[in-house]
Amino acid sequence: MAKLLYKIYYIVWQRIKKMIILIVEDSRPTRNLLKSYVTEILPTHHKIFLEAESGEIALQMVQNEHLDLVFLDWNLSDKITGLDVLKKIRETEKFKQIPIIMVSVESDKTNVIEALKHGLNDFVAKPIDKKSFTEKLLKALNLPKKK
């Protein structure tokens, strides 16, 4: 009986839980593309997308929201880079578990390794390959691979 109740509770919780996703990207078309891909890949998850065009706004949002995932561009339009945002987020213990995926044209291996050392979960190069994006998204959220 307890297992059945747990299963029911878990199913209901999954349906009502909202996944809050922060997209830190200065390009509106790229933000829209990421939202479209995530919505297509995770159609049954309730999602709330938050958007930040700059690193400063992103850092404020991280402090004020309970985030489930962050997409982060390397090259932002302000003085703060995606790497700076990543480092600031990872400085705070309670934010160390938030999955962060860097999505950027900045694909220099040295820079990607530097970001991984600072707690980046994964990296997706632009232009975005949908198959690779799907795999990395599911991995970051600990969800099973799509068949």
In tens, the pLDDT along 1-45 reads 566 656 665 555 555 568 899 999 999 999 999 999 999 998 877
Residue 53: φ, ψ to 5° = -90, -10
pLDDT band at 87 (very low <50, low <70, confident <90, very high): very high
Residue 121 lies in a domain: yes
Residue 55, in any domain of the structure: yes
In a domain, 13, yes or no: no
Q: Which CATH number covers residue 130? A: 3.40.50.2300
- Look up the domain containing 108 and give its range: 34-140
The average confidence (pLDDT) of the chain is: 87
pLDDT at 122: 95
| Number of domains the chain contains | 1
> Given a cut of 80, is residue 120 above it in pLDDT?
yes
